[in-house]
Amino acid sequence: MYYNGLKQSEVGGAYGLQKLGVHNVRPFFTRGVLLDVLALKGGDMLPLGYVITPADVQAALARQGTREPGEGDVVLFRTGWGKLWMKDNKKFNEGTPGMGVTVARWLIGRKVCLVAHDHWAGEAVPGEDKDRPFECHQWLIMMNGIHIHENLDMEELAAARAYEFAYVFAPLRLKGATGSPGNPVAVT
């Protein structure tokens, strides 16, 4: 079963996804919230496998003076891991820091529409439980229909201390696809 009670026969087919394909996703124009966990913790990047906790989220919000994300918002997590891209791809691909399941469930409770990271995984890898890899993906996408954006460059936003902004993204409407390339924009 998928979110909204959809069964596999309604979701997938011989030519890709049907009801949940990216061709059904409308453009995003909503409030974006940058959670600069790297600035909170300090250093050049969070350690490999670091699991962002609800306490980290609350501390980042307080440090930034940002109100909590709410229904329809997009939440971006800055870990610094994206700085490795095209500089140390071996380390970049070994794993990532990122949110854990508790934070994913917290975001679900706030009814956000999209969660983003500055790396390829969209969550901590390895995660909290080695026997349940990519569990945040299951909670967010499959069970709650919350989208994930990966590999976003958040360095300019962080440097400008732009913690709240208009988030704009129009996915390519690729029939049957599970995802879409694109260029999300933060309007400050």
Provide the whole-model pTM: 0.92
Instruction: Give CB contacts under 8 A, 24+ apart, made by 138-143.
Output: 139/101, 139/104, 139/105, 139/108, 140/104, 140/107, 140/108, 140/115, 142/2, 142/3, 143/2, 143/3
Please give the Cα distance from 128 to 100 (Å, whole number). 7
Q: How do residues 7-42 score in pLDDT, each as one tens digit?
A: 888 888 777 877 777 888 889 999 999 999 999 999
Q: How do residues 105-154 score in pLDDT, each as one tens digit?
A: 999 999 999 999 999 999 999 988 888 999 999 999 988 989 999 999 99
Domains with residue ranges and CATH for the chain: 3-187 (3.50.30.50)
In order of 51, 69, 184, the CA distances from 168 in angstroms are: 27, 16, 6
Q: Phi first, then psi: give them for residue 85, nearest 5 degrees.
A: -55, 125
